[in-house]
Structure 1
Amino acid sequence: MRKTVLAVAFALGLATPAFSQSPVKINVGFTPVIDCLGAFVAKDLGFFEKRGLDVTITQMPNSQSMPPALLADSLQVGAVAAPILIQSRTGGFPIKIISGGTFVTNANPNGAIVVRNGVNINSPADFVGKRVASGALGSYFNVLFRQWLADNKVDPEKVTYVEVGFPQVGDVMRNGQIDASTIGQPFISRIEEAGVGKAYRWYVGDFPDGLLSNVYTTTEDWIAKNPKAVADFKEALNEANNFIKSNSEKSREIAAKYLKLPPEGMKNVPFSNYSIDVTEAQVKAWNDIMKRNKFIDGDVSLIVK
């Protein structure tokens, strides 16, 4: 009798099908840069939600803070700068890439060396003895700046590097505590508009097209337990990336919301290059840069097949 009642209930849609599941909760860590726009759009427009993903977006101090948070499960996904991921992996953190985030092109680089007004810089050699800020030592902009100096025959060790959070760079620069900063958008535009400094060179664009910037990462354990959520997360990001390409005004509005900026503050900020795709060649390029700068000894494999 009980089996008959259940069968009727299923037929009438009065019982929950066995395959129905609760939404997968995912806390996504990000740093306040335009590179994370794909996640902002996917969250704001319901691209995650319609795929059964209950996503929270959490701002983190920097990329370095994300691998430990992933391991502790306080974050399930982190939008991490490529060099931080490589350093974490070589340090024993079991994390991998589940989706591409952004990449660099010469025509649209995502970072510059901004020099304080009144500081005289006419060539890379003029950075010797200067105080140059980055979000963190060993970070994306810091590592690339060191490599850029070396490529221009300047000893990177002759520059003083200091850690300053992106939102604080403008004030620290205005007070004369730093001479320059390696930084991305929207902060470059804000510093220039405030009359504090000016982009000396968009040095990130001096590297080969396709260099990885941010990638979305999680732990190997979370990947093994949530294969469908991994695929759905990547699919939602892809939908968001396509939306950004054809809806710049709405995308800027969403960026301002998550970056906590006035809408007019995003008006002239260029977008990054967004893609869910990652290749082994892109990972190798970072492996090579990290080895040349003595951050790692060997190569690591990071892509989820």
Structure 2
Amino acid sequence: MTLNIGAATTRRRLLRLALGATVAGPLAASAGCSVLNGSSSPDGSGGSGGSAGLEKSKITVGILSSQGSAGAKLAEKFGYFAKQGLEVTIKPFTAGPQAVPALLGGELDFTVINYVSFFQAVAAKTLDAKVVVDGNAANENSVVVVAKPDSGIADPKDLVGKKVGIQAAQSVAELLVRATLKDHDVDPNSVHYLPVTFPNIPAAIAKGELDAGVEVEPFLTTAEQKQGLQPVLKIVTGATANLPQTGYIATTKFVNAHPKTVAAFQRAMIPAQTDAADRSKLSQVLPELSGVDQATASLLNIDTYPTSVNATQLQRVVTLLQNYGGMTAQLDVKDYVVSTPQA
């Protein structure tokens, strides 16, 4: 499966124009059918439009410095939270698992977390929580394997014996590589997986410490700018196409005690997720989230932003974990998803 990069000439020219852009300390992020079908107008003002009746109108939401948190920033920026009677404080975290203690301790009411970490914690019974809103899903261009242009890597079989950076052991990055190798009849254990974080992968490849690495935005674009790396292998395709990455969760205790607050949060997020698919609107929050300037942010490969939580799609994450060593527990995702009631 060779990644066709011949059509990327225009993008490379733009990259050269943005070459002077620097990363301003971005934080690494790493991932029945419940449909967000609460009645709402396109501007998110469905429902009462005020805090009357909400069990809790002042809430705190944990986010990551990644595209998966775009919805929360857009809901804040365009007033969707306020239209639902919510006064929201947004608190950034370096990684989703770091926010879990704050969620369990009541410091946070909702937080963004990657689905791999979420389901692993649920399986280990260290977290009793539910998915309230879907955050983002990866696509074939926003999560890829990168390498030097002369690496000789163009196909899954070319990774055999290679040192590949995968963010962390049993991370979604590792699972995606393993699944891609398996789908192409290559032994998933034939690769040397090294836990190097996304921000550090490009430099490690440039120094020869890695042969390749799984990369996400904004590090994918800045790796092209600074180290001259290029995408060489798609890993979000076929069986892993549009794989859900992150979601907003709340503890089961909070969900049960604050159903109206949860519903208001969901209604506010529907138009925000829709806005995230609009590059002109996303660009208003992307530089802050990604840690790069506006010129570089305009080049980032954009994820997909679902407006509903699809348990069938999320079950794919659990299956990926089960198939490639991330967990052995049998989880029915329907039990960990909050449905938005009809208005």
TM exceeds 0.5?
yes
1:200 CA drift (Å): 0.7
* Matching residue within 17, 21, 28 for 2:62: 28
* Matching residue within 217, 225, 243 for 2:275: 243
Closer, same or farther: CA 204–29 of 1 in aligned 2, 3 Å: same
3-state SS of 1:207 partner: helix
Query: Residues 135-176 of structure 1: CA distance to partner in whole angstroms, max 9, x if unpaired?
Result: 322222221121112222222223222223333333333333
1:32-111 to structure 2, matched below 5 A, reads 32-92=65-125, 93-104=127-138, 109-111=141-143
Contact 2:111 2:250 in 1 (8 A): yes
Q: Distance in 2 between matches of 1:131 and 1:208?
A: 22
Whether 1:294 aligns to 2:328 is: no
When the two structures are superposed, what TM-score results if normalisation uses the length of structure 2? 0.74
3-state SS of 1:48 partner: helix
3-state SS of 2:236 partner: helix
Q: Distance in 2 between matches of 1:20 and 1:224?
A: 13
Query: Residues 234-260 of structure 1: CA distance to partner in whole angstroms, max 9, x if unpaired?
Result: 2222111222344x2242131102222
- Name the counterpart of 2:162: 130
Query: Residues 267-289 of structure 1: CA distance to partner in whole angstroms, max 9, x if unpaired?
Result: 12232111131223113222222
1:104 CA drift (Å): 4.4
Over alpha carbons, which structure has the higher Rg?
Answer: 1
Closer, same or farther: CA 21–63 of 1 in aligned 2, 3 Å: closer
Alignment-mate amino acid for residue 76 of structure 2: K
When the two structures are superposed, what TM-score results if normalisation uses the length of structure 1? 0.83
Structure 2, unmatched stretches of 5+, are 1-50
Q: Which has the higher helix share?
A: 1
1:263 CA drift (Å): 0.5
Contact 2:168 2:196 in 1 (8 A): yes
1:138-287 to structure 2, matched below 5 A, reads 138-207=170-239, 209-246=241-278, 248-287=279-318
Contact 1:98 1:234 in 2 (8 A): yes
Query: Residues 100-133 of structure 1: CA distance to partner in whole angstroms, max 9, x if unpaired?
Result: 122345xx55311111344221321221222222
Closer, same or farther: CA 209–154 of 1 in aligned 2, 3 Å: closer
1:29 CA drift (Å): 2.7
1:19 CA drift (Å): 5.7
- Name the counterpart of 1:14: none
Alignment-mate amino acid for residue 67 of structure 1: V
Alignment-mate amino acid for residue 71 of structure 1: L
3-state SS of 1:59 partner: strand
1:6-21 to structure 2, matched below 5 A, reads none
Query: Residues 12-47 of structure 1: CA distance to partner in whole angstroms, max 9, x if unpaired?
Result: xxxxx98688732213132x3223221221122232
Number of aligned positions between the proteins: 285
Contact 1:134 1:182 in 2 (8 A): yes
- Which stretch shifts more, 58-67 or 174-183? 58-67
Closer, same or farther: CA 147–257 of 1 in aligned 2, 3 Å: same
3-state SS of 1:253 partner: coil
- Name the counterpart of 2:28: none
Q: Distance in 1 between matches of 2:73 and 2:103?
A: 19
Contact 2:53 2:260 in 1 (8 A): no
Contact 2:134 2:309 in 1 (8 A): yes
Closer, same or farther: CA 57–157 of 1 in aligned 2, 3 Å: farther
Q: Distance in 2 between matches of 1:20 and 1:160?
A: 51
1:191 CA drift (Å): 1.0
Contact 2:218 2:292 in 1 (8 A): no
Q: Aligned residues: percent identity? A: 22
Q: Distance in 1 between matches of 2:171 and 2:320?
A: 12
Structure 1, unmatched stretches of 5+, are 1-16
Q: Distance in 2 between matches of 1:18 and 1:63?
A: 31
- Which stretch shifts more, 216-225 or 237-246? 237-246
* Larger RCO, structure (CA 8 Å, separation 6 or more): 2
Contact 1:109 1:205 in 2 (8 A): no
Q: Distance in 1 between matches of 2:153 and 2:246?
A: 29
